[in-house]
Structure 1
Amino acid sequence: MKHESQTQDDAAEAQNFSRRNLLRLVGGGAGLLAVAGSGALTWRAADNGVFAEGSGPAYEPWNLPAPTGRADLVRAAILAANAHNTQPWIFRVEDSYIDLFADSGRTIGTIDPLLREQQISLGCALENLMIAAPALGLQAIAELVPDSADPGHIAHIELRESSAAASPLLKAIPVRHTDRAAYRTDQAVPRQTLDRYRRAAEDDAVSLVWLSEPEVRQAFGDITVRATEAIIADPDQAADDYRWYRSDWNDIQTLRDGVTIDASGQSAFIRGAAKILPTTQQQNHDGWLRGTRDTQVSTAAAFGAIMVADGHDVAARLSAGRTFQRLHLMATGDGLAMQPLCQVLERVDREESAGLDDVFNRELADLLPGAGKAIMTFRIGYPTVAAPPSPRRAVEEVLLTAAP
């Protein structure tokens, strides 16, 4: 059930959308639909998946089977969280091992110029694979970045026969989804839950810092909104970001990647309208900024920062990805929602790669003094709606060889 404030927000959005688009509908060619009658509108709505959210071949991988063969470990891996849903992974599957490689063609350009987000995404996939292996009666032992001459060779995973023992996190893999919608503002995440997640995150390479006090939350939210504005104002970053958005039904089913309008966190009305009425890059980014400012930072119960000693170390990035994936699976099992919220870090990487003044790097460091280097940030809270799935490529598309 929606909160009263959500219902009011949806109504306001509908009114604003109607006013913004009335003239464009009549004068921009879409008036042809009105002449043809409501049937044409219904046809375009159906053609763009307005009535079929989360269905079709692009979503079939979420029907994760119980592991019966090596390829099923990859089926679990590809359901991992990953930046902009680029799915930047390739797997070589053999009887005694699996190799994980980065797909160099699936990057976000200036959004991720140092490949930080790609490598974190690969760590997320690795964690899913490691969690799924025991259910198949296998002990998985991962060696990170095993070939210094090939930085794209992310991990070598030895598979050894062992007794079957399903991880309690396994059942969360096919139901974990990034939730970009509003979180409940009347229900705080208990401190003992945050502390449990912090302890679960700690190892030799990674730690977790919570930004949970109101003043610190406000400060991080403000920086995130300004970083979003800076990305939108940067022509290269804006274009590279927009390239991974998907609103057309046929594109979703063909490409099977990217951030869809259904998973954007917008209201049902706006999601449906965006599928019927083509939107520009600027309109898309206006919605992103509005959602970041008015929904995502304002309703977060807390923000988390995954910290490492060296933000450029590939193994540390992979470990951070494994940590985030594990935390997200734990949160899913606890009925909590999570969403990566990394605009500040995307601007930090842009500042470094382009030789810009390190404004965002300094501001973020001021919020996290003496805690290492922030490598990933996210929000957490109790959901108000069920988060929809994102499209996934078929496992056959990411295998170098067929599994035995």
Structure 2
Amino acid sequence: MEMTVMNKEDTISRRQFLKKAGSTVILLAVGGVLFRAYAQGVFHTGKGPAYELWKDENATGLTSIVHAAVLASNPHNSQPWFFHVSDTTIDLYADKSRHLGPIDPFYREMYIGLGCAIENMMLASKAYGYNPTLSYFPDPLNDTYVAKFSFTKQSSEVSPLYTAIRERHTNRGAYDATIEIPKEHQTAWQKELEDPITLSLFTSKKEKQFISQSITDATQAFISTKVLSQETNKWFRQSWDDLQSYRDGITLDAQGESFFIRFFGKILPPLDNESSDQFWLKATKNRHTDTAYGYGVLSVSTSNHLVENIQLGRVWQRIHLQATNQGIGMHPLNQLNEMADFETHSKSQPHFTSLLDQITIPKGQKAKFIFRYGYPSIEAKPSPRRSIESIIV
């Protein structure tokens, strides 16, 4: 039997080979992770075609007013609008194909979002040297024909609210509730109201505890209701390709998470609905409600009046723009309203309707919109927006 004798040089050579092979495997693994991270947009947050409209505009004429409109706050970033533009008019229509279904059975949130777009249009019109005349629902028989703008020329009036349009983003991150918000800032929000909209602010520990627990309970009920869970998850864009293709919906970047969480959230396989729901519930309980400096509640005089919902949206947009200029973060938390609407529509026991009624607001008013506010601990990221070409008919 022959024996193979391995000398010292052979041993070193083999060790070097194994070492190099191991290093290659590691490099390939790291390279794969980095490639996945790049493909999922980890290193280009807020970039690409879906985010172009947040940059300096290149639209001209009345189209520039539409550009401002689509940067408005809206439910689930569904962008439920389209426009018709002529030489002297803009018609705004509700796109009911983008309705949130069972989440918004009375179209409350849709028309609030359309009101936000209208407010941006009013601010932009004056900034671009137009005098706008606005009429709601020009055709009383068509509730999708939301508003008609007619324009004449005037001198430019650039409002501080207009300059905040491109800086305004929903901040879903943690707030520093220990930093007091000056009274004059909150007073300024009250000046943005218009009849019949009222704003109630809640900052005491007892008030915040009640609203926080009610919102958390509503979130738990929401994700436990299959039809609601399915609808909200339909709007979550988990892949970079989907985000850039659809240019709408809820994104991980806009959730107020750290870079570490966003990094692994993008490179790992997409979450299933149940995991996504639990992620939202945890964020609601441990970040959104626990770090709120205060809550704001916008109220109207009737349960479901389309014009009042539009007016509320206009007020909310102005308040959010004010807060943007003040360096204050704001974040709608409408789970309680959504569950109350769901109860009413499905004729269920009015548990969340009762909780909503216990929030102290002016007598005769209905609480229609809840938001938290405070000084943010993290910069808010923009949400995607559809192209101007895709929404003008």
Same fold (TM over 0.5): yes
User: CA–CA distance in 1 between the matches of 2:285 and 2:43?
Assistant: 28
For structure 2, list consecutive stretches of 5 or more residues without a partner in the other structure.
1-24
Amino acid at match of 2:280: W
Higher alpha-carbon deviation: 323-332 or 105-114: 105-114
Alignment correspondent of 2:288: 296
Distance 1:198 1:213 in 2: 19
- Residues in 2 aligned to 1:334 and 1:132: alpha-carbon distance in whole angstroms: 20
TM alignment of 1:5-404, pairs within 5 A: 37-65=29-57, 68-201=60-193, 203-278=194-269, 279-369=271-361, 370=363, 372-400=365-393
Residue 45 of structure 1 contacts residue 276 of structure 1 at CA under 8 Å; is this kept in 2? yes
Pairwise CA distance, 1:65: 2.6
Deviation at 1:357, TM superposition (A): 0.9
1:53 aligned partner, one-letter code: T
CA RMSD of aligned residues (A): 1.5
CA–CA separation in structure 1 for the residues paired with 2:285 and 2:27: 38
SS in 1 for 2:97: coil
Q: What are the Cα deviations for residues 142-168 of structure 1, in whole angstroms up to 9, with x where unaligned?
A: 111221110011111121221221122
Distance 2:289 2:277 in 1: 16
Q: Is the 8 A contact 2:174 2:377 kept in 1?
A: yes
Shift of 1:205: 2.2
Whether the 8 Å contact between 1:67 and 1:136 is mirrored in structure 2 is no
Task: Return the alpha-carbon distance in structure 2 between the equivalents of residues 118 and 272 of structure 1.
Answer: 32
SS of residue in 2 equivalent to 1:312: coil
Give the conservation status (yes or no) of the 8 Å contact 1:64–1:76. Answer: no
Whichever residue aligns with residue 244 of structure 1, its letter is W
Change (3 A) 1:199 1:371: farther
Three-state SS of the structure 1 residue aligned to 2:358 is helix
Distance 2:253 2:259 in 1: 8
Residue 110 of structure 1: how far off its partner (Å): 1.2
Considering only CA atoms, is the larger Rg found in Structure 1 or Structure 2? 2
Report the AA paired with residue 374 of structure 2.
G
The structural deviation recorded for 1:185 is: 2.1
Partners of 2:122 and 2:375 in 1: how far apart? Answer: 27
In the alignment, the residues of structure 2 paired with residue 268 and residue 288 of structure 1 have an alpha-carbon distance, to the nearest angstrom, of 17
Which residue type is aligned with residue 393 of structure 1? Answer: R
Evaluate the alpha carbon distance shift between residue 184 and residue 371 of structure 1 in structure 2; reply closer, same or farther with a 3 A threshold. farther
Tell me the equivalent position of 1:13: none
In 2, the alpha carbon distance for the partners of 1:231 and 1:341 equals 13
Q: Identity of aligned pairs, percent? A: 37
- The offset of 1:253, in angstroms, is 0.5
Contact 2:185–2:326 (Cα < 8 Å) also in 1 = no
Paired with 2:95 and 2:89, the residues of 1 have a C-alpha distance of 19
Counterpart code for 2:297: A
**Structure-2 separation of matches of 1:285 and 1:135:** 42
CA separation in 1, counterparts of 2:169 and 2:329? 8
Are the aligned partners of 1:111 and 1:237 in contact in 2 as well (CA < 8 Å)? yes
Unaligned runs of 5+ in 1: 1-32
Residue 243 of structure 1, CA deviation: 0.5
Q: Using the TM superposition, name which of 228-237 and 162-171 deviates more.
A: 162-171
Alpha-carbon distance, 1:269 to partner: 1.6
- Deviations along 1:46-79, whole A, 9 cap, x unmatched? 1111111111010000013387410000000000
Q: Deviation at 1:35? A: 11
Task: Please say which of residues 369-378 and 233-242 is displaced more in the overlay.
Answer: 369-378
Counterpart-to-counterpart distance in 2, 1:359 and 1:246: 32
Q: Deviation of residue 336 (structure 1)? A: 0.7
After TM superposition, the score normalised by the length of structure 1 is 0.88
CA deviation digits over 1:165-219, x for unaligned, max 9? 1122111001100000001122021223212212322x22211111222111110
For 2:3, the equivalent position in structure 1 comes to none
